[in-house]
Homo-oligomer: A and B are copies of this chain.
């Protein structure tokens, strides 16, 4: 019990210092490790296994919807980055430049890709000629680099892992439908598999991706009331295609520029999982992406038959498709309880001599610490059912947290008061669509526009800032 306490004491409480609580979990749950390279991190096996599960589920959805994976170079020549004006203005200030190859200076410097629109366009220019070549539905799983000043594990690092989908279409309608489809795939994934409710919406003009005509995003609310952008999907119109001189012969035999989209999610999702579900005992992982879904902890392991039974249960659960681990190391059960709570394993299975006598075991769910006794005969159905219960419970908790922290405000003063009295959260407030008011709300309240939700509601008739007639409801919040 001493050891158990010790471990828990090691994490800063989230009430005391949320930022420190976050980095404590990243380190103690062995998700990441800092490196000699400032702003870059090692994603350790336990953290990377979460990413592998995210990849596997999303990659399946991408392929079901007709997308193919490719691999583009990691370097972009400066002249290529410069081809689309808005895009280069957005990214040039934060890229890493390669200037030497071996001991020789390069003729043209190369940036390490911060995103790959320019590379995809440069490739499509060569391979797209006819409407028969469209659509191109491509994706790649790679890392990108953005030279950030301040960095935090998963949330903001100079190099991060992501997938970037890039597609090219014969019509604007088709491209817009793709942009929406991919946003919905992200949103459904976050809600179903990460048990994290999200708001789907459109970014305001000032907050669009560099070079995009429209940016859609999903926004999630973290435990501390701050907003986190969990995924984006961009519609480019034909701007990039024109800049890169991509043309195809349409069905009417005329040359025209095609329409483009791109969409991405990153290892940031792991940060979102931590801050949506974690607590003072550590990480709390959604079953769909947990590297270990159930851990078996034998009690009174030295007693005859306990380890054998535990191993039998492990094999049965493995055969039933559960990602299961048996911890038969010589640490105490108490130490193990804390350890796997810290690591956020959704279900703990305790089995000791008395349980075995009664042909049962104990299931403890991480997110609420509830205990259930289950007949060993029913294990293969009981554990998957429990995992579903865990996902549903985690989703309900996150949704409740979000609803408790969503404020409807009619004036800037109401926003200030709500955020001060109830703490950070989402604000629903009306907007006249002027950039000036958007800026002013952010300046005065600290809450910027997160998105214009697809699901609109009428909080009042006038802009929260200027009092002129309102055009849309905006979701406001302080952002990660």
Binding site for B on A (CB under 8 A): 33, 35-37, 40-45, 48-49, 51-52, 68-77, 79-80, 92-103, 109-110, 112, 119, 122-123, 126-127, 138, 142-143, 145, 147, 158-159, 161
Contacts and interface: CB of A to CB of B under 8 A. Distances in A.
Contacts of A99: 97-100
Given A44-B70, A73-B41, A102-B93, A35 B123 contact: yes
Given A76-B37, A101-B96, A71 B122 contact: no
A70 B48 CA distance: 6
Contact of A70 (B45, B72, B74, B158): B45
B94 A112 contact: no
B94 A69 contact: no
Contact of A98 (B70, B97, B126): B97
Contacts of A94: 102
Contacts of A98: 96-99, 112
A93 B103 contact: yes
Which 4 pairs of residues, A with B, have the shortest CB-CB distance? Answer: A40-B73, A45-B68, A97-B100, A101-B147
Nearest to A71: B43
A36 B100 contact: no
A451 to B, nearest CB: 28
B76 A147 contact: no
A33 B120 CA distance: 11
In the complex, which of the residues A41, A97, A161 has the most CB atoms of chain B within 10 Å of its own CB atom?
A97
A88 B265 CA distance: 36
A44 B119 CA distance: 13
A122 B36 contact: yes
A383 to B, nearest CB: 22
A37 B70 contact: no
Contacts of A161: 71
